[in-house]
Each structure stands twice: as structure tokens, then as C-alpha cells.
Chains A and B, each alone.
Chain A
Amino acid sequence: MALMVAVFIPLLAALLCWIRPFRAFAWVITVVCLAGSFAAAVVIAAHVLAAGSVVGIPGWFEADGLSALVILLVSFVCTLAAIFAGGYMHHGSQNEDRLWWFYCNFNLLVFALIVVPAFASPNLAWVGVELITLFGVLLVGFERTPAALEAAWKFSILTIMGAPISLLGFFTLYWAYHISGGGPLETWQGLHASAAVMSPNLLKFSFLLVFVGFGAKSGLAPMHTWLPDAHSQAPTPICAVLSGIKTTVPLYAILRLLSIVLASPEARIGRWMVVIGLFSVGIAAFLLLQVRDYKRMFAFSTVEHMGIILTAAGFATHAADYGAVAQMVNHTLTKSLCFYSAGIVLLALETRQISEVRGLFRIAPFAASALLFCSLAIAGAPPFPIFLSEFSILSAGLRSGHTAAVTILAILIVIAFIAIFLHVNRMLFGEPQQVETAPSAPLSCRVAIIIAALPVAVLGVYIPGPVHSLMMLAAQQLGGH
């Protein structure tokens, strides 16, 4: 029941935002509905912790540890993004009369994001992932500036091209499932159970296609080129959702399928995941050195984190899987915070160029503190959760004998750390070009930033018991041994 509520409330909210008399209250409707969806997600997580899984409609909507975790993350990030949008989108916007359309679309995007982990069947998950792309495209181009439209175009062509490729992959998966004598309804659980008897060649072929198709959507190199454009040109609340969670959800589907392929004894694919993951981290680390736009900087850092998660999943041990899940959680929480901070810097100074921002601490102290906090967190400085999860991935890799991969990964993470701090350092300190202080950020933006910063500050030093057990449960679904 809670599952259906969590999934369908955003759809209801989209409908309400579309009805003419309610359009003026679109923001309130969105925030209230998404908060309700988050509450339902918490209930789902509690049920999953108690019973192992939650069933909405058998064979259609089911949630286990991994999906409950992703649903929880989606609803948390999207609720905060909605709160943030209140101040941000109304701030001197030329699109005031189209705002209801923005919220309507935003709710549809949230619906698509939640429905993917809630679906029990891979084919339906494909449909959900495509819906994410479509609503994402409309939101990226929302401001209708030439740059935003260019970003939306690149985004749509590169990610929608992945759709037919992954569709063929899912058809092949279905075929493999059927000729191995699978039941009438194809679910993730059923696939997992019959992984050992499915043809390894077909499994590998289908995984390859799905990986290419969905990898493009989660921004894995070399299919990442749309990501910095879209994530820098979209309105900031959308950037937070796109970068924080929209990349994570297709990766969720890849990891699900990877766990099935890994369960097949003959399909050895883990080491390729390590190679591709490291390639993404490497590309991102070196591009991070030469970015000029601070929103693009955070976007490249997303490519880096996607690579790290994939590498960890490729190690295919239980400890590395726990690291991958933890990295997914921490990335999502921290990256959305990064874009909120970048958003209020943009509101205060109205430039995206790193070189035009100097002495931020003197101009806008709140924005500067937020930027410092989130940059430390996203780069993986010690007291923050990303440090913990990266450290556990590195140590799990060492214990499973991937010494070379761990060495490369560690070096690349350090390069990315240095790159981020070179840029942030120049933005925060030094002589400001303007003397007067910038106007302070809208209240709803500050509220969203403070709420988003709480888990980032806490999870590094203390992981509450239920969260830990949920992440353990999710790591088990990834099928490492």
C-alpha cells in the first residue's frame, strides 16, 4: 500500500498542477505531495527492514532492500529540490507564467524516477527509464535560452539513442529467461533465481546492450558528453535532481542486471566493469582540472562518482558492494547539496564562470560556507561520508586482490580532489571584484540547503542502525560473495 502511495502521489501532484484553478499554488502542492511521498518511502523502508520485501501488486510493483533505498533517496532529494525551487524559480524569473508547467513536469519526472525501482519487471523498468529521459529533456530546456536548448538537444539525442539499444537488450534477456524455462511473469527475483541455467552468451549480449543504453543515461564515459551541458544549463533544482538521482536510477538498473550476470557461473564480466569504471573516473578527473564553469565542475564530479560505483560493483565482493551502495547514497545526498550551493552562488553573482568569482566569503558568506562545506564533502575529505565509502571500496578492492585497480582508483580520486579544491579555493578567497555584499539567498533555498546538509554532516561520523541495515540489505541484492 505504502509503495503505491509513494509511486502515485507525484502523478497526482502533476495532475493538480495542471488543473487551471490550482496552478497558482503549484509550488505548495508539489512540496506537500512530495513530502507525503517521502513519508511513504520511510514506511516502505521500515517494512522492508521488518519483512525483507514489500509487495504492492504481485509481479508488478515490488520493493526489496535495494529498491527501497533508491525510492527513499529519490523522494528525499526531490522533496528538497522542490523546496529549493520555491525561492530559486521565483527569483527574477522571466518565466513566471510558465511556472505551473515547470512544477507539473517536475512531478512527472519524480514519478518516473520512483517508478523505476518500484517496478518488479525489467521491461517496465525500461519504460520508466525512458520516461525519466523525456521529462528530463523538457526540464533541461525550460529556460529556452539558446544554450539551454543546445544542452537539451545533446541530452535528448545521446540518451534517447540508448533507448532502442537497451530495448533489444531487454528483449534478449526475456528470450534467455524463456528458453531456460522461466515462469510467465519476468521479475528481477525470478531472473536471479534462474540465472544459473540461462545461456551465458545471451546474458552477456543482453547485459552489453543494456549497459551501453543505460550507461549513456547515467553518464559513464565515453557516453558522458551530454552530462556537463545538461547539468550546467538546466535550472538549478533540476540540476540537483539530474545529477544527484537521475544518474543513479539507470545505474540501479545496470547493477540489478549485473548481479544477475554475476550469478551466472560462466559469464565473467566483473573485470570489464572495473576497467570501464576506472575509465570514467579517469576522464572525469582530468576534465575536472580544466573546467571553467562551477556547475560543470560538479557535473564532472558526477561522472567520477558513477565510475567509482561501477568499479566497486565490478570487484564483486560483499564488502565492495556495501561500499558501492554507500557511495551511491552519499553521492546522491552530497551532489544535490552541491548544486543547491552552486545555485545560490549563481543567484548572488549571476555568473557561472569560476574565474569571475573571487572572495566569495566577503560577498556572500552563507553561499561561501555552503560551497566550502559541500566541496569538502563531494571531494571526499575525511570527516565526510564520501571519504568513508571511498575508503571502504578501496580496502575491499585490496582484500579481493585488485591491487592495480585500487592503486589507479586512489590516484585518480586524489587528482579529482586536488582539481576541485584548486577551483573552489580561487572562488572562495582572494580580493572580490565587487565591494558591496550580494543580496542574501531566498529563505526556501537556505532551508533546503540546511536540511540537505544534515545527513551529509551526520552520516560521516554516525550511521544510524536502520540506515546501516538497509544498506546491508541493499548490498546483498548486488550479489557479491
Chain B
Amino acid sequence: MASAQTQLIEGLNALSGGLILLTAFGMVAMRQVQGVMRFFIVQSALLATSAFLIGFNRGSIHLIALGVITIGAKVIAIPLVLKWALSEDLYQRREIDQVINIPSSLLLVLLLAIAAEFLVSPLVSISNDPVVHVNLPISLALILIGAYSLIARREAIPQLVGILAMENGAFFAGVAIAQELPLIAELAIAIDVILIAVVIGVLTRDITRAIGTTRAATMSELREEPQQWR
């Protein structure tokens, strides 16, 4: 029966949505650069799964292509690129110090996820598609969590992965609401994401060579100070 299949797929999509949210929490909880990266890879794979499921259910070749692009770009290409651009030492470094300690961070992130649900609830009521009801709130939650980790993290690579996780969030909504987006746009967006990773990777390498640290917190040479009027 078609409707039973649809229900199953919608259930699986909701499951992968929940797991994606969990990986976002995991990325906040991790101390190690490598651990953050692993959670990111799992999250991207889940995003691709969601795209495959919905694409299969609706017979949309675009979504299948989007899933393939996601796997190619975020599960394979970006981790490789970052490994190439960064030294082994940088990649395996532990002890990322944060502005706020991890338990409080997790609490804040949970609040952000709840806030996201409330923010989009007037919007999703427009549609009675259950996929939209799952994907849009989780998408906004991922974007807010990513933005939070950009503020809280003090190391370059976790900040970059935070941005990429925000990108995953935007795509998770795109899977539900922008299904007929022209393929060229999807391709261009995917290339863009890889470029972001390359540029920041190269930049981080340059910074390490010039300054000897990737602690973004130590970079505070450029700012305004009140001057003496003479």
C-alpha cells in the first residue's frame, strides 16, 4: 500500500531528523577537533539519507541528486580537504577551550532548539505536509546551534565545522521545501560549500605558519581604542 509506505518513509525521515539534532548536540559537547569532525560526517550522511528517503517517496530525481552531492561533498571531499590543508597535529588536537563550559553550553543549545520550534510554528502551519513540520524547525535549530558554536568555540577548525553544520541545517529545510530547485543551483551550492572549506583550510594553514596558533581568541590586534586628543 502506498500510504503505508509513505508513512514509513515519513517516520524514517523524522528519525533521521532527530538523529541530526542529536549530532548537533554532540558537536557542541565534543572537546576534540577530530570528534567534532566525526559528528559532522555522521550528520551529513543523515542529511543525505533524508534526501534519499523523500526523493524516493516522491520520485524526485533532484533530491536523489542532492543526496549524492551531499555525500560526495560533505562526507568525502571536505574531510579529505581539511586533512590535506591542516597538519596532523592541528587535526588531532584536544582540549578545545570554550567561553562557556560544556554542560551550560548544552543547556543553552537545548533552549535554542526549543526556541526554533516556537519561531517556525506559525510558518509550518501553512503546509500540511508532515515532512515540512519535521524539517523546518530542526533546520532552524541547526542554524542557531551552529551560530552559537561559532561564538563559543575558540579554535579555527571547530568554527569552520560549525559553519558547515549550519549549511547542513539549511539543506535539511531545502529537502522539504525547495524540492524542485534547478539542479544547477544545487550543484553550484555544493561547489560553493567545498570552496568555503578549501578557502578556510588554506587560510588556517597560513595563519598557523604566520602566527603559530589557530586560537581565534588571540587575534585581537585590530580594534578601536579611544585616542588622546591633542
Contacts and interface: CB of A to CB of B under 8 A. Distances in A.
B177 A174 contact: yes
A164 B173 CA distance: 11
B195 interface: yes
Nearest to A128: B188
Interface in B126-179: 126-127, 139-140, 143, 146-147, 150, 156, 159, 163, 166-167, 169-171, 173-174, 177-178
B170 A171 contact: yes
A199 interface: yes
Contacts of A150: 207, 211, 219, 221-222
B167 A175 contact: no
A124 B178 CA distance: 14
Contact of B182 (A168, A179, A185, A201): A185
Contact of B139 (A145, A168, A184): A168
A409 to B, nearest CB: 23
A123 interface: yes
Interface stretch (A130-138, A254-262, A381-389, A441-449): A130-138
A171 B178 contact: yes
Contact of B221 (A131, A146, A179, A355): A146
B173 A168 contact: yes
Contact of A156 (B170, B200, B230): B200
Interface in B188-204: 188-189, 192, 195-196, 199-200, 202-203
A171 B222 contact: no
Interface residues of B, number: 50
Interface in A16-65: none
A179 B169 contact: no
A151 B181 contact: no
Contact of B211 (A146, A178, A228, A229): A146
Contacts of B196: 130, 134, 160, 163
B166 A174 contact: no
B127 A179 contact: yes
Contacts, number: 145
A327 interface: no
A153 B207 contact: yes
A161 interface: yes
Contacts of B230: 355
B227 A292 contact: yes
Contacts of A147: 221-222
B95 interface: no
14 contacts: A124-B185, A134-B192, A134-B195, A154-B219, A157-B216, A160-B200, A163-B196, A172-B123, A179-B126, A179-B127, A202-B123, A205-B123, A229-B222, A233-B222
Interface of B: 120, 122-123, 126-127, 139-140, 143, 146-147, 150, 156, 159, 163, 166-167, 169-171, 173-174, 177-178, 180-182, 184-185, 188-189, 192, 195-196, 199-200, 202-203, 206-207, 210-211, 216, 219, 221-222, 224-227, 230
Given A121-B185, A123-B182, A290-B226, 4 more contacts: A163-B167, A201-B122, A290-B225, A292-B227
